[in-house]
Amino acid sequence: MGTRKIIHIDMDCFYAAVEVKYNPTLKGKAIAVGGRPEERSVICTASYEARKFGVKSAVSSYKALKLCPHLILIPPDFEKYHRESQAIQQIFSRFTKKIEPLSLDEAFLDVTDAPFFGGSASLIAMEIRKLIFHECALTASAGVAENKFLAKLASEWNKPNGQYVITPQAAPAFIKKVPVEKIFGVGKVTAQKLHSLKIFNCQDLQHFSIEELYHHLGSWGENLYYLCRGMDEREVETSSERKSFTVEYTYPQDLPDLEACLKKIPELYQEFRSRFLETDGNADAKITIKSLIVKIKFCNFKHTTVQQGISPLSPFPTLEQYSPLLHKAYARYCLPVRLLGLGVRLAPPCTSGKQLTLF
């Protein structure tokens, strides 16, 4: 693959900024969007003025008002955020068709082949931010790099209302200082595990071989091996493309039979559940699960996937729901198994709230 040009755009304090846009008297004040404290609600986001007091996403509204008694608390209005989000997406679409929205306020754009500004991704990012400001009266930050992982790290670098470029030459030095928590998919549980191995940043991670990481973290360890070197081959996937979230494990020795596979399911399920909930991040669970998936790769390298649709209103899938799927998948070849995976398929993005960043 040749060098790609990926832009990550992330709006600044999005819900709060939209509220200020609709009510300019709020400008410069400590405001937060969230439910009332008596409803045991949490803060969706806060203006940068409010953040100085420690008010931020996922803090309880009760605590937020304790931290900042003059905080102006505004109930969320998703219809408004959705409308603004569509206007922003429309701006993106003038530059490329390869757009992957991650949530209402965040997207990856692949501008590798975009014919604007002599192909300069930095200038395209600058122009997009300018247009967002002029047409939507909102500010955005952008990151530019050769892949999604680095672009997302870069967009945080000069936030708010800034942008940052990580050139392929600068990437190896940049990545070393990045704390492991910044790697998406590394949530609290994985971070703790890494800390217990004295791994705090990407440089620490680089000392581990792929086998060692595999040993400590399963197949996820392999991803980390590449990510901590700033390598990420994932394509920018447009929203019409399939999205799923699975945890997979290739076993060092084939699992001989169905019984051996069934024994591995609880461990995989635990990993899936914790990683899904971690990556979903901050419990803004507006994600819709369409179906459950079990994947098998047999010793003859044949793959099979079994899915089962569930109602969007169903509670989070349980371990017990996966066993019948495994039975069904195994029955297709009845051979020793190299790889087992389980997870979920998701409805396309652009519902209200945050979408999962998927691996």
Residues of this chain that interact with Mg ion (CB under 5 A) are 10-11, 14, 105
Pairing of strands 337-346, 244-255: antiparallel
Residues in the chain: 359
Conformation bin of residue 345: beta by default, left when phi > 0, alpha when psi is -120 to 50:
beta
CA gap 160, 169 in Å, rounded: 25
**Considering the complex, what minimum distance in angstroms separates the CB of residue 81 from ligand TTP?**
8
Q: Is 339 in the site for ligand TTP (CB under 6 A)?
A: no
Closest CB to ligand TTP among residues 282, 318: 282
With contacts defined by CB under 6 A, how many residues of the chain interact with ligand TTP? 19
**Considering the complex, what minimum distance in angstroms separates the CB of residue 281 from ligand TTP?**
6
Closest CB to Mg ion among residues 156, 222: 156
Distance from chain centroid for Cα 112: 22
Q: Is 106 a catalytic residue?
A: yes
Sheet arrangement for strand 140-145: 99-103, 106-110, 6-11, 140-145, 163-165
Q: From the candidates 19, 84, 100, 106, which is the catalytic residue?
A: 106
CA gap 49, 43 in Å, rounded: 14
Among 184, 104, 124, 122, which Cα is nearest to 149's?
Answer: 184
**Considering the complex, what minimum distance in angstroms separates the CB of residue 352 from ligand TTP?**
9
Pairing of strands 289-298, 6-11: unpaired
Which DSSP symbol is given to 60?
A: B
Question: Which option in Mg ion, ligand TTP, none does residue 58 bind, with CB closer than 5 to 8 A by kind?
Answer: ligand TTP
Largest CA distance in the chain: 68
Among 354, 355, 356, 358, binds ligand TTP (CB under 6 A): 354
Closest CB to ligand TTP among residues 89, 120: 89
Closest CB to ligand TTP among residues 336, 353: 353
Q: Which of these segments, 9-17, 22-30, 93-101, 271-279, binds ligand TTP (CB under 6 A)? A: 9-17
Distance from chain centroid for Cα 290: 18
Site string for ligand TTP, 47-66 (x = CB under 6 A): ----------xx--------
ω into residue 160 within 30 of 0, thus cis? yes
**Considering the complex, what minimum distance in angstroms separates the CB of residue 160 from ligand TTP?**
5
Q: Are 145 and 6 in contact (CB under 8 A)?
A: yes
Closest CB to ligand TTP among residues 13, 171: 13
Question: Which option in Mg ion, ligand TTP, none does residue 284 bind, with CB closer than 5 to 8 A by kind?
Answer: ligand TTP
Q: Are 344 and 306 in contact (CB under 8 A)?
A: no
**Considering the complex, what minimum distance in angstroms separates the CB of residue 266 from ligand TTP?**
29
**Considering the complex, what minimum distance in angstroms separates the CB of residue 56 from ligand TTP?**
8
Q: Which residue has the tokens 């069904």?
A: 328
Q: Is 159 in the site for ligand TTP (CB under 6 A)?
A: yes
Question: Which option in ligand TTP, Mg ion, none does residue 353 bind, with CB closer than 5 to 8 A by kind?
Answer: ligand TTP
Among 106, 346, 101, which Cα is nearest to 245's?
Answer: 346
Q: Is 107 in the site for ligand TTP (CB under 6 A)?
A: no
Closest CB to ligand TTP among residues 11, 191: 11
CA gap 319, 112 in Å, rounded: 42
Q: Which of these segments, 103-111, 168-176, 177-185, 330-338, binds ligand TTP (CB under 6 A)? A: 103-111
Question: Which option in Mg ion, ligand TTP, none does residue 159 bind, with CB closer than 5 to 8 A by kind?
Answer: ligand TTP
CA gap 163, 331 in Å, rounded: 52
Q: Is 353 in the site for ligand TTP (CB under 6 A)?
A: yes
CA gap 255, 339 in Å, rounded: 9
Q: Which residues are catalytic, by number?
A: 106
Binding site for ligand TTP (CB under 6 A): 10-15, 44-45, 57-58, 103, 105-106, 159-160, 282, 284, 353-354
